[in-house]
Amino acid sequence: MFSKKMVIILGAVALIVVNIIILSANSGRYSSYGSGRTVFFLIAPFQKTVTQSIQFFKKIWGHYFFLISVAKENDNLKKAISHAIDENNKYREIEISNFRLRNLLNFRKTMNSKVIVAEVIGQAPSFWFKTIIIDKGKSDGVKKGLPVVVPEGIAGQVIDVSCNYSKVLLIIDRNSAVDALVQRTRDRGLIKGQSDGRCLSKYVLRKHDIKVGDTVVSSGLDGVFPKGLRVGYISEIVKPDSGIFQEVTVTPYIDFEKLEEVLVVLDPPKHDFLSKQ
């Protein structure tokens, strides 16, 4: 690209040359016809070159400003598009959040107990311990031992409480235990967490006629989780050659990697948990 200073210098040089040509042509008026004609033929090619050069630099200068204008317009359009994408993402996130909250509030209406909505603000980074941190604590009525649920079922149990925050042990943690039963057959078992994000239903007798796909719900007999909450579904059954128990794998309905809001049951009833189904 040519700088403005360079173009001015070239234009000045061109003007000087043009003036010389004009003076030479004028002087020819007072000279003989033959000598004037000779001068004309000598300076004509040079004059043509100068004129073309001036036109060339004018075009370059015009294109330069045109490209600057286009570049600025392009930058403005990019900024406008980026802003529109950001706004669209915000609206989309609000829409998704509202859908989750509506689902949570609809589930809340089916419950007899007093509950409070809490937001998940952290997860334990450890592979062995499956816990989350919620933004509700003692000041909100949360106490140690309270059950934590979502529309898909049991999430876990409060194990530690501060003034404004609480830690929740998820049911997929090895230290978690939920007394549960198979909804179809009413056969009981103890749900224990595993490190792979699933659970084991322990102490299920071999004689019990359970099947893959059966829903497992809380029995309400452990004194923590009220009766009737979904825990998961039976995804695998192994019957060893010896022993009286089956090895039953239960996959939770909850995707614990995507937990964002939960309900803490502040006064869990001792028996039936749901008032409507």
Instruction: Copy the structure tokens of residue 48.
Output: 């043509």
- Tens digit of pLDDT for each residue in 213-249? 999 999 988 888 888 899 999 999 998 888 899 999 9
- Tens digit of pLDDT for each residue in 96-119? 666 666 676 776 766 777 889 999
CA dist 164 and 140 (Å) reads 7
Please name the residue that has the structure tokens 């909450």: 229
Domain-wise residue ranges, the chain? 1-109, 115-265
pTM over 0.75: no
Q: How many residues does the chain have?
A: 277
Span 115-265 CATH architecture: Beta Barrel (2.40)
